Amino acid sequence: MQKLELAPGCLWWPGRLDRCQQEALLSQVESGLAQAPLFTPRMPRTGQPFSVRMSNFGPLGWVSDVDGYRYQTFHPDTRQPWPALPAALTELWHTLSGVPYPPEACLINWYGPEARMGLHQDKDEQDLTAPVLSLSLGDTALFRVGGTERRTPTRSIRLASGDAVLLSGPGRLAYHGIDRILPGTSTLISRPGRFNLTLRRVTPP
């Protein structure tokens, strides 16, 4: 499987998941969302809603509200534990990251046709040495990645359904974001939009 380095430590596998794997993973995502429905996170302090909706798999889940960004063991609306991480995700984590310890959280982001995500770093974890693995399902997204400083020049690529991206080593804290979604570029999901699954280790192994 072809692997491309977008920036130091930022690796991209176009088409890493075939159609059957994508369909199987989508089915598991939908089952998880039946237990832990998508919710609308809000910005700290201002309470402004995100344009993406979210949920999580795993013992820990990332949330954002007026009190700040954090990981917690339960859904903010249902107050129930997050669904267990599917074995297929854990296997992909081990295969692509090369680390022996398991992920603790998988953030499920749903991008509707108008959703986007500004440039940001994933830095709410206690362990910043573990990589971050991202998987795409559904419509293509315009993904932008730069360096560890906001002023570093960025590069844009189109992430299609089945693509995988790993932020590791010198790229672990690279600024990255989603500029826009290209509706109608995938037939995987019955409605326009995209799921992004982001696997993370939160605490030191």
Nearest by Cα to 52 from 134, 117, 138: 117
Q: The domain spanning residue 131 has which CATH number? A: 2.60.120.590
What pLDDT, in 10s, does the model give residues 48-68? 999 999 999 999 999 999 999
pLDDT band at 205 (very low <50, low <70, confident <90, very high): confident
Full DSSP string of the chain:
---EEEETTEEEETT-S-HHHHHHHHHHHHHHHHHS--B--B-TTT-PBPSSEEEEESS-EEEEETTEEEEESB-TTT-PBPPPPPHHHHHHHHHHH--SSPPSEEEEEEE-TT--EEEE----SS--SS-EEEEEEESEEEEEE--SSTTS--EEEEEPTT-EEEE-GGGTT--EEEEEEETTS-SSSSSS-EEEEEEE--S--
Is 66 domain-assigned? yes
pTM to 2 decimals? 0.96
Domain that holds residue 29: 4-200
Euclidean distance between CA atoms 62 and 88, whole angstroms: 20
Is 11 domain-assigned? yes
Structural domain count, the chain: 1
What pLDDT, in 10s, does the model give residues 141-191? 999 999 999 999 999 999 999 999 999 999 999 999 999 999 999 999 999
- Please compute the mean of the pLDDT values over residues 33-62 and round it to a whole number: 97
Is 205 domain-assigned? no
